[in-house]
Structure 1
Amino acid sequence: MPRRVIELTVWALCLIAAAARADYREHPEARAFIDEMVEDEGFEREPLTAWLGEAQRQDSILEAIARPAERTRTWAEYRPIFVQPLRVERGVEFWQENRDAFQRAEQELGVPAEVILAIIGVETHYGRITGSHRVIDALSTLAFDYPPRAPFFRKELKQYFILMREHEQNPLAFKGSYAGAMGYGQFMPSSYRHYAIDFDGDGFADIWNNPTDAIGSVANYFAEHGWQRDGLVAVRARASGEVERGDEKDWNRIDPPQHSVGDWNERGLSPIFELPADMPANALWLEGDHGEEFWLVFHNFYVITRYNRSHLYALAVDHLSREIKTAMEKQL
């Protein structure tokens, strides 16, 4: 048989196999998952099997998650994606519409309104783009047909079913991102169960349709991860002469601060305004619009990376929050 015919035959068989796996009741790993949920979490087998029978494999999700990550972008390329006039303008509008909720979040949880706004603005453009995939389709596809991260998504699928049971909701009814993130702040199911709060007191933490609950939940996420009230996020730094690069692992970290402002001063990097020499800080060395940029980043920067493990994401949130705050102050 010619090689080309063999290749086409194999591809056709793969498509047939994929179609056969579209009904996740018959997927071997899904069957094992059902057994686990019944034995460990006390679920009834029949409804769980029916829900997974309704779940549909989505090849578009597999294609989306396999795309190159943002780390291929420079800061000059990444920043304008999120820090733009329209996002600032709509952030101010969202603040005006929900001013009382933001004020409560600041007072009770210690997280500034502009930071909460920046997160919701980056994640979903203030609720305008929350995802069009059914959560059960996204999580099932990735849990059973995406081997590189299948264990993670199986855990999230488990958390999703538990969440739906806790709130007596239909697992087939909710939509989110291609990765199964949900609502204004794009919480994964495990994050919902740990950090989402009923901020308006109606008995249900609705992060999909209720901006008050979404605002409180994002603030609670940051508070639970150690946000420091009135703490700095990032400060631009100057290079005095040639900066001692040292170990490249020292730069662009998403860990808690490993050095101090004084350490960076000794390596030729100083903040644009005076800070305590013993203040813990990491440093960013980025390619900006006009060449190299240096930043000193602090504990609250690290907290933002708990939301998304990217130094570019955290810095974009910080920059967007600053521009939103400036625009908000003009409205007062």
Structure 2
Amino acid sequence: MSWSPLLPAAALLFTWAAQAAPHRTQRAASPPPAAAVSYAGREDAQALGRAIAAAQGLDPDWVLRALAQARFQASITRLVMPPPAGTAKNWSAYRARMVDAARATEGLRFWQANERWLSQAEARWGVPPEMVVAIVGIETYYGRIRGNFRVLDALATLSLDFPSGRSDRSGFYRDELAAFLTWCHAEQRDPTSVKGSYAGAIGLPQFMPSSIRRYAIDGDGDGHIDLEHNPADVVSSVARYFAEFGWEKGLPTHYGVQAPTDTSARATLLAPDIQPSFSAQRMTELGAVLDEAARAHAGPLALVELQNGDAAPSYVAGTRNFWVVTRYNWSSYYAMAVIDLAREIKRLRPPPPQPVASAPLQ
């Protein structure tokens, strides 16, 4: 998984992306509690609850009652661990899992069922409908796979018993637990009733609680934000998220490119990773062969490498919009899967009807 402002479910399927996460100091190993033990009697849980209540302006008794119902889940501490060392990245295999005819067909149905909200979101934020639809498809297969963990359990477990053996992210999850309880209080939701991924991501677009608080929007004006059941809120929230990170209307996500054969030049272009940092002219000077559209591109580009196991890597020249897609999940593989699924869904969509020319007046 990658540690983006969101922690989407699709990231959890592709966990080797976490290798790019910043290093954090490891915590000393401590014996984990038994599976499904309640946090009700834990002094550290009560201290965390009081701190959350004070910071968020919540009733301390309400917060402590909620945390007393949280349970440690050993399976969550296993699922959050990185893959075995040496796991090879393979774009072709990942794409085959995430971009297929069945998912594209479901995406077309989602588009047709929610055309009103997608059109409104595009008009307001400039994000194409197919990109929003593809995010929901990659994240949860349009709601089919959204996680069945109690979010309260997931966030409490990762806040209070984050496993040793990987970079400690317990502080991140404490912040998410605070955001979750604040959201539940504002929406008058029972914290024990909300289900999500083992990392605490919620709903069709798999927003983490802090992202619900920061970016989610009431798309149909009913006074509530419901990312679990309301497509209007789902569509509006995903589009707004892209816009907040700088999505530029009409800008392609990427162009075709052949990487330089010189290893030093290729390393120079790959050093900034997915951050667009080079002009088309500079990429050409370093030996990259750009397609015609890329050569005419005025903004910065990034050489994006997608490894294919033992086969030769694939490359694209990513634009600022490619980088925006990676803000949803800090993985170029994830972003490329979203982009390819969006293209497949749009290809299935029937062209709009052409206006019928009226006969000339006699």
TM-score w.r.t. the length of structure 1 is 0.88
Task: Give the secondary-structure state (helix, strand or coil) at the position aligned to 2:204.
Answer: coil
Q: Output the CA distance in 2 between the equivalents of 1:52 and 1:217.
A: 28
Distance 1:279 1:47, change over 3 A: closer
Task: Give the secondary-structure state (helix, strand or coil) at the position aligned to 2:219.
Answer: coil
Q: Output the CA distance in 2 between the equivalents of 1:193 and 1:212.
A: 17
Query: Is 1:111 the counterpart of 2:127 in the alignment?
Result: yes
What corresponds to 1:166 in structure 2? 186
What corresponds to 1:233 in structure 2? 253
Aligned partner letter, 1:139: L
Aligned partner letter, 2:253: V
Query: Is 1:263 the counterpart of 2:279 in the alignment?
Result: no
Task: Give the secondary-structure state (helix, strand or coil) at the position aligned to 2:292.
Answer: coil
Contact 1:110/1:223 (8 A) holds in 2:
yes
What corresponds to 1:80 in structure 2? 96
- Give the unaligned 5+ runs of structure 1: 1-12
RMSD: 2.4
Q: How far 1:278 sits from its partner (Å)? A: 4.3
- Equivalent residue for 2:52, pick from 37, 41, 57: 37
Please give the residue correspondences for 1:212-231 in structure 2 after superposition, counting only pairs within 5 Å.
212-231=232-251
Q: What do residues 274-293 of structure 1 show as CA deviations (whole Å, max 9, x unaligned)?
A: 33264300002333496332
Contact 1:254/1:310 (8 A) holds in 2:
no
Q: Output the CA distance in 1 between the equivalents of 2:154 and 2:237.
A: 23
Q: What do residues 22-72 of structure 1 show as CA deviations (whole Å, max 9, x unaligned)?
A: 221332331221221233323223222221111111111111111418974
What corresponds to 2:70 in structure 1? 55
Contact 2:35/2:73 (8 A) holds in 1:
no
User: Quick check: 270-279 or 159-168, which moved more?
Assistant: 270-279
Q: Output the CA distance in 1 between the equivalents of 2:182 and 2:92.
A: 42
> Could you say which structure has the greater relative contact order, defined with CA pairs below 8 angstroms and 6 or more residues apart?
2
Contact 1:232/1:300 (8 A) holds in 2:
yes
Q: Output the CA distance in 1 between the equivalents of 2:234 and 2:208.
A: 13
Query: Is 1:141 the counterpart of 2:162 in the alignment?
Result: no
What corresponds to 1:90 in structure 2? 106
Distance 1:288 1:327, change over 3 A: farther
What corresponds to 2:332 in structure 1? 311
Q: Output the CA distance in 1 between the equivalents of 2:117 and 2:186.
A: 25
Aligned partner letter, 1:261: A
What corresponds to 2:7 in structure 1? none
What corresponds to 2:140 in structure 1? 124
Q: Output the CA distance in 2 between the equivalents of 1:254 and 1:113.
A: 27
Q: What do residues 256-284 of structure 1 show as CA deviations (whole Å, max 9, x unaligned)?
A: 31111111111221222333264300002
Contact 2:248/2:321 (8 A) holds in 1:
yes
Q: How far 1:244 sits from its partner (Å)? A: 4.9
Q: Output the CA distance in 2 between the equivalents of 1:110 and 1:20.
A: 47
Aligned partner letter, 1:24: Y
Q: How far 1:138 sits from its partner (Å)? A: 0.7
Higher helix share: 1
Task: Give the secondary-structure state (helix, strand or coil) at the position aligned to 1:46.
Answer: helix
What corresponds to 1:6 in structure 2? none
**Aligned residues with identical type, % of pairs:** 36
Contact 2:219/2:232 (8 A) holds in 1:
yes
Q: What do residues 2-41 of structure 1 show as CA deviations (whole Å, max 9, x unaligned)?
A: xxxxxxxxxxx95xx6139922133233122122123332
Distance 1:284 1:42, change over 3 A: closer
What corresponds to 1:7 in structure 2? none
Distance 1:142 1:72, change over 3 A: farther
Q: Output the CA distance in 2 between the equivalents of 1:20 and 1:237.
A: 50
User: Quick check: 224-233 or 322-331, which moved more?
Assistant: 322-331
Aligned partner letter, 1:136: L
What corresponds to 2:346 in structure 1? 325
Contact 2:56/2:178 (8 A) holds in 1:
no
Aligned partner letter, 2:177: L
What corresponds to 1:9 in structure 2? none
Q: How far 1:131 sits from its partner (Å)? A: 1.0
What corresponds to 2:10 in structure 1? none
Q: How far 1:132 sits from its partner (Å)? A: 0.5
